[in-house]
Amino acid sequence: MTLLLAAQAAELNRDERATGIYYTKMTEKPETRLLGLRGLVNQAKRNNEYQKALELALQADQEKPGTDWVLKELFDLSLQLKDFDGALKYLERSGKGKAAKDPARLHLKAILEYERAIRRLDASDVQQAQALLQRAHDLDPDFVPATAKLISLSDDGRRREKLISAAWRQTPHPDVALAIKRLVPVESEADWYARAKKLFLSTNPDHRESLIELAKAALAAREWGDARKYLNALLESDPSVSVYRLLADLEEKANADAAAARNWIQKIPEAKADPEWHCDHCGRIQRKWTSRCGSCNSFDSFEWKSTDVDLEDQLIEAQVVKELTGN
């Protein structure tokens, strides 16, 4: 107790040298070893010495295997060090019984399998990457990055068709649409439009993303009437920024009507924002999903959503994030 109080007093005084000495002395006694290791882990994390913190946490795991705080530290530190194999191992060790089937835990496992798959792709191991992506998709079919990447790597055939149909029915998303489009690398705009109609209209015809993708494909294929039909439907259901931009594009290309196009552009400031990836911790907005936020360093914090925020509020929020994170 004397050593613990001395270590805590040193922490309050920000005396790192004394803190380390007292916690190290605690590790020399069997009855206080685990507590001392916990103090040293926290000290190493404060100093951004994540590898050292991981090694200390491993010692704590050897001292008392399966301790909750130790497994949590091993998981978090593995994530910090981008050791996704290790993170998955510790996540599986910490979840037993009903907890192992918790949707949030399954989602975390899906992210880890996805990151492992990306590592395998970087090493040109496509077959193993496919297997890991399939596992991620099975764990969480709503996890868009894994679904889109799995589609892009899947071989042509009935199995891929079922995957695509199920994905668009359950989680229609621009990244999924792009993966589907890129499956045919050399394709005319008219052929893509025909393929898009066949898929999107048969699986999820009224969804916003189906109408957006069909409108874009129809515009590219110069099917002006169809494009206007899809965009008019969106005007009634979800008049977002991209809808007004596409309507302006339609007026320019179909009618060469600059005035009509300008009228649509002028409506954009009043339009609903399009969905993007939003960090729930710091508010960062980005087009591409990442497992860790580049601003606040939080893991699995991005959610695909649309938020109507005043421009001035966005600028203030961005400045606050910059000041807090230094980014």
Our count of domains for the chain comes to 3
Q: Among residues 75, 92, 109, which one ends one of the domains?
A: 92
Q: Among residues 62, 92, 122, which one ends one of the domains?
A: 92
The answer to whether residue 270 sits within a structural domain is yes
Question: 247 and 282: one domain?
Answer: no
For the segment 286-314, what is each residue's pLDDT rounded down to a tens digit?
Answer: 999 999 999 999 999 999 998 764 444 44
The answer to whether residue 170 sits within a structural domain is no
Residue 62, domain CATH: 1.25.40.10
Other C-beta atoms lying within 10 Å of the C-beta of residue 290 = 15
DSSP 8-class letter at 302: E
Question: 233 and 291: one domain?
Answer: no
Beta-bridge partner residues of 302: 279
The answer to whether residue 120 sits within a structural domain is no
CB burial class (10 A; 0-12, 13-18, 19+) of residue 119?
middle
Q: From CA 62, how far away is CA 278, in angstroms rounded? A: 39
Question: 188 and 264: one domain?
Answer: yes
Q: What residues contact 92, with CB distance under 8 A and at least 6 apart?
A: 100, 109
Other C-beta atoms lying within 10 Å of the C-beta of residue 138 = 13
The whole-chain average pLDDT of the chain stands at: 91
Q: What is the pTM of this model?
A: 0.85
Question: 12 and 84: one domain?
Answer: yes
Question: 284 and 262: one domain?
Answer: no
The answer to whether residue 175 sits within a structural domain is no
Residue 215, domain CATH: 1.25.40
Question: 298 and 235: one domain?
Answer: no
Q: Domain residues for 201? A: 184-274
The answer to whether residue 4 sits within a structural domain is yes
Question: 54 and 83: one domain?
Answer: yes
For the segment 182-231, what is each residue's pLDDT rounded down to a tens digit?
Answer: 999 899 999 999 999 999 999 999 999 999 999 999 999 999 999 999 99
By the 8 A CB rule, do 50 and 77 touch?
Answer: yes
Question: 36 and 65: one domain?
Answer: yes
Q: From CA 216, how far away is CA 288, in angstroms rounded? A: 20
Q: Lay out the sheet containing 285-286: strands in order across.
A: 285-286, 276-279, 302-305
